[in-house]
Amino acid sequence: MGKQDDAAEVVDAVRRQLEGHMSPRVLLLVRRARAVLTNDEEAEDLFGAALRDPAGEGWPFEQAVVLLEYGQWLRRKRRTSEARNELARALTVFEQLGARPYAERAAAELRACGVSVRGDDGASRGNERLTPQQLQIARLAATGLTNRQIGERLLLSARTIGFHLYL
């Protein structure tokens, strides 16, 4: 039995243990994990279920990761036009959240689909600007709010706020 099979067994055990008691976020994560670990016949249905659940909108990062992985899956299936849509949606969310490593992954996948991505010309490299979220955090900090108060407004941890302000 391989590592993927072991991981699938763990996810199924968690699903069985929490059946009927999962929060929307945990349900989204379980569906995503099952989609990534399952055979191709079930994967599309699981990705779809994860993305159709309106509760997932409360967890934009997690939902964007599902979009990214679904887009990767679609691209591997040579369904590039569908993949482009999912990957572009994921990239937008990652950029809005300031999740650079994930934005870079989504951009790389889009390039693999033949899409030119902002910043591909190299002009913006080394000349980084604040993301919309970082700008919002900086503006709130300038008003005198504490990291905790900013985090409460933006639904982020005080530690995350501190990280963005330190950059």
What are the pLDDT digits (tens) for 67-95? 999 999 999 888 988 999 999 999 999 99
d(CA 160, CA 134): 11
Q: Is 35 exposed, middle or buried (0-12, 13-18, 19+ CB in 10 A)?
A: buried
Task: Give the mean pLDDT of 21-43.
Answer: 80
pLDDT at 134: 81
What amino acid occupies position 158? Answer: A
d(CA 80, CA 18): 36
pTM above 0.85, yes or no: no
Residue 122 pLDDT level (bands cut at 50, 70, 90) = very low
d(CA 60, CA 37): 22
